[in-house]
Amino acid sequence: MEPIYRPTMLTLPNESEKPNISDSEMRKGIWGPWYWFVSAFGLVFPAPKKESSLFATLLLFVPNLIVLAVLAVRAGNIMYIMSITRAVSFSWAYMTILFSLSIHALTCAATLTWYKHGNFFNKMTAHIRELAVDNFETVPKLDLILQVLVIAVGCFPSYILYIVDSFSLGRHYSVNGDNDYVTGIYRDILGLYIADVVVVILSAYVTSAVFIVYLLSNSAVCRHYDSFLKKLTTAVKDGTISKVDNLKHFDKQLIHLLSSICYLNTVNQWMLSISFVTSIVMQICAQLSLTSFSSTMHGVEYGLFALWFLQSVVFMIFSLKKPGIFYEKLVETKHLLWLDQGVWSKSTDVRVLDIAEGMIHRIETVDYPAKGMAQVGSRIFGLILMIIPLLVAILAGTARFQAYNLTNSTSTSI
């Protein structure tokens, strides 16, 4: 049986109320075994203290610098190939998706570097410790299992199929945009294809790592917000919300919750923005290829673009819907406070009114990255689903017109 919550006994949080749990146990309760998955290659270990030597600092960041350099070189190479392909051709769509994924992976690698530089895991653990005044809520097993789906659906499959398409089959459409299978993007240098396989797997890893860290961190903050909201609702229903000490306690917890989500989204703001842009680019190019070039694809390529289409939806949900979960809870809290008769009609204590107004004002005015996207996320999501097919139809018409002109010019020359 769950303990009965008695709001009249609430006090302001102090150090003695914080959970007496070690940092390692806190990390396990927030990220579970996925923390070791993310830190396996030394990309997120805390940066050295300020008094450490420059050499020690650079040495710690060597893995990150190597990963960033490799991903940047690959992105630059793909950008060059994309620039010499015929616009709105199959090659153009193919290389555009590869380039957008390369930029996304580069951004994720930079985010991991920022985690290390800013000591993200220790700071996020400290934020959750502040939230866990009454009870530390560990990550449910279902959330840990769902991260497997993040990797299985959102990251690795399309990369694996790309490896099959580029290495095992060893063929690509030519950069001139015709439909003949000719020299691949790395010419006939087998070593470059093998190296690209390694880089693609690395890209999938850094993307999965950042997604998992953000999702589990966001989930941890939202779990404690659910606990906060449940107790606030109980206090509203039984009328004890009108007691000054109780409302001060809730106000203190709201500040901690807002501080936590502000920190989390500030650190990850570039990654969320690039994820959204990448999802749009992939969606357009995948739909264009599946509708206009499906007759010239072989089975693996068709499956590849289908998975890229699915991956774009995952990226879109990740960048729009997930940050919106916390915002929805803020709106629910605001309505709960605004519409409570116990605060505004029955309470005679001016301090209660001031604290309630301060909480509502804080909810409305405290800004954080992704809050704007969260406010209009559902509308944007629906609008995108309507606009993209129209844009794809225009691009498909352009592709057919170019193919018709190319056929006519070839016939004329003959």
Q: What is the pTM of this model?
A: 0.85
| Matching residue, tokens 């089959």 | 169
Tell me whether residue 268 is in a domain: yes
User: What residues have CB less than 8 Å from 392, skipping those under 6 apart?
Assistant: 284, 287, 288, 291
- For 346, left (φ over 0), alpha (ψ -120 to 50), or beta? alpha
Tell me whether residue 42 is in a domain: yes
| Alpha carbon 325 to its chain's center | 13
Residue 202 and residue 259: Cα distance in Å, rounded? 33
pLDDT tens-digit readout, 20-37: 788 888 899 999 999 999
Tell me whether residue 55 is in a domain: yes
Confidence tier at 379 by pLDDT (50, 70, 90) = low
| Matching residue, tokens 């690209």 | 196
Tell me whether residue 318 is in a domain: yes
Tell me whether residue 368 is in a domain: yes
For residues 82-96, average pLDDT: 84
If one compares 404 and 136, the residue with the highest pLDDT of the two is 136
pLDDT tens-digit readout, 311-367: 998 898 888 888 888 888 998 999 888 887 667 777 777 888 888 899 999 998 888
pLDDT of residue 2 exceeding 50, the answer is no
3-state secondary structure of 181: strand
Instruction: Give me 98's structure tokens.
Output: 């590869």
Give how many domains the chain has, as a whole number.
1
pLDDT tens-digit readout, 173-192: 444 444 443 345 565 666 77
Residue 378 and residue 219: Cα distance in Å, rounded? 19
Tell me whether residue 21 is in a domain: no
Write out the E strands in 26-177: 172-173
| Percent residues over pLDDT 90 in the chain | 31
How crowded is the C-beta side of 237, counted as CA atoms within 13 Å?
8
Residue 390 and residue 411: Cα distance in Å, rounded? 32
Q: Are 124 and 263 in contact (CB under 8 A)?
A: yes
Residue 86 and residue 10: Cα distance in Å, rounded? 68
Domain span including residue 310: 30-409
How crowded is the C-beta side of 121, counted as CA atoms within 13 Å?
26
Q: Are 254 and 228 in contact (CB under 8 A)?
A: yes
Residue 73 and residue 61: Cα distance in Å, rounded? 18
| Matching residue, tokens 């990309």 | 43
pLDDT of residue 400 exceeding 90, the answer is no
| Matching residue, tokens 């960048």 | 319
DSSP 184: B
What amino acid is encoded at 145 in this protein? I
Tell me whether residue 292 is in a domain: yes
Which range (147-156, 208-217, 351-360) has the least confidence? 147-156
Tell me whether residue 23 is in a domain: no
